[in-house]
Structure 1
Amino acid sequence: MLNNKSVLITGGTGSLGKALTREIFAKWPEVKKVIVFSRDEQKQFQMAQEYPEDKFPQIRFFIGDVRDEKRLVRAFNGVDYVIHAAAMKHVPIAEYNPDECIKTNIGGAQNVIHAAFEAGVKRVVALSTDKACAPINLYGATKLTSDKLFIAANNISGSNPIKFSVVRYGNVMGSNGSVIPFFLSRRTEGVLPITDPDMTRFNISLKGGVNMVMYALEHAWGGELFVPKIPSYRIMDVAEAIGPDCEKPIIGIRPGEKVHEEMITASDSYNTYDLGKYYVILPSTPKWKISDFVNQFSAKKVKAGFNYNSGENHDWETVDSLRKLISEHVDSTFKY
């Protein structure tokens, strides 16, 4: 799919961006170019050490901010596929810095769309979050707006064959700022602070996130929002898996947090289909026939009123499975 193609990843020095880069070089060694676009020069410098020019001549590191449309247009020149992973994502920080969150997550999305049209990009896959579903915090609201912008971009493409799609998933295990690395760093102190003992979250590995992006990049018709079928975990099980002997004081929910996350609302159910491994929320006004899509992917309509909630999931991680996943995907030296 990506051999002889040029791919650009915004937010390319983040956890998922680095995982995507590894996957692309492993599966498509004849990729024409991989452009890592981000605003953090230190992270770019560190990542460049992993990809020396003599072994990875196709890689390029491009300093830039998604808030800068002109810079994006220049970076997108000659690019076939764009994966938009850049975002301001920390919920409490977004609550206290709303203007900055809006500029990056909404303004940045608009800039990516405009630059993709301007530069002749063929496909764009944008990353979403479970917090964009029925949002109660600013981060989720900005990501929901971003999702709507990317989906609607297909309606203004005219005869341009470009396709925009979105992937939405829950917490990426081991990603920067997530609870598992936080607990791992705190367990030596003997205290793991718990926001709410009833809290649950969806869980996906970096590999799972990468696979989903690649699926959308290859199969999207334009306007879909893909959701993976993934397990949930209970925050108390995560704490028990990492620090069974630690104190676990209840500190209360942080600003903008939910007890349970949702990825598909009951209102979404009327446009939601089951693809087997994934769910997909189809656009209300697609440029193609829904019947053709259903036939192509053997898609099955979900029941009216269906919703996908981390607290009512049918698939759960256990303390033992979490320990195994942490040692496999987060910290190979992890012992309990």
Structure 2
Amino acid sequence: MSGPLAPGATIGIVGGGQLGRMLAAAAARLGYRTIVLEPQPDCPAAQLANRQVVAAYDDPAALAELADGAAAVTYEFENVPVAAARRLAERVPVFPPPAALEAAQDRLAEKRFLNAAGVATAPYEAVDDAAGLAAALARLGGSGVLKTRRLGYDGKGQRVLDRPAPEALAEAFAALGGVPLILEGLVRFEREVSVIAARGRDGAVAAYDLAENVHRGGILHSSTVPAAVSDRTAQAARQAARAILEALDYVGVIGVEFFVLADGSLLANEIAPRVHNSGHWTEAACVVSQFEQHIRAVAGLPLGAPGRHSDCVMENLIGDDVARAPSLLAEADLALTLYGKAEARPGRKMGHVTRLTGRVRL
């Protein structure tokens, strides 16, 4: 790509969930068309995109169709097969780069990448079998969070171990599928925060204000902005995000989650090489949302200013929470986004609301 995409160009999106839906809406605002690759017909993104390719993410013919139909390709979730992303990149620019997927898809590789980039994490150990789990647990003081290295999200694929009986270790390993695992040391933290940052094709970086996140049952419940952290902590988070973006030669939006310790220092928890749930507040409280910022980066346009005009609280609507939508719309200073999903199920994200809680003095 030698210059910005011209209005009317088509951007490909791998994945048809709610993030793809909001990316398609942002692309349309900037005059771009979108084509979505997603095996589920009538997915949330396809309801707003110009076209859908209904096929598996690694289907060779579908990948060729997507590459032929798009001037650039992005993705809305981090479990896109790396081989498929690399195959696309042989024919069309892919942003963020496939290397970002590779770093984020394996929790062990992710921790090693973060440490190599100068970003601190909780202590961790690789666990390949039940015997290795006992040794790893001993090295971490007898307690930790055992996680699958791949495919876990929203609290799935993990188990807390706190000085378990020896016979419980084999059961814990088997319960997570007998696959390669990672044991992360338990961290005493005061709060969880995240930073949404973007890097353009020209190397420019823009970072939004930190959000303070509350999880329930492993699923993000709310994000409050501003986070209750010092300026020093906020600056450290932004610097860590920049280091990650530059180490990956990244293009697009990334979400970086942190634990904040009692002294204000940070430990990175994980990275998401895509737009992120904890950045949904930017739709209502910023002139340029994380979704528009991502499209700007992918299209080669200048990044927008990431400043917010309002303090806010974003809350996910999970499962039957979506039934509250009509009453929520009666509230002042509230923005509602629904995802177009036909069936509300326990633990399923159906939409979100953002309440503006006060104007920011500029």
TM over 0.5, shorter chain: no
Q: TM-score, normalised by structure 2?
A: 0.37
Higher strand share: 2
**Structure with the larger helix share:** 1
| TM-score normalized with structure 1 length | 0.40
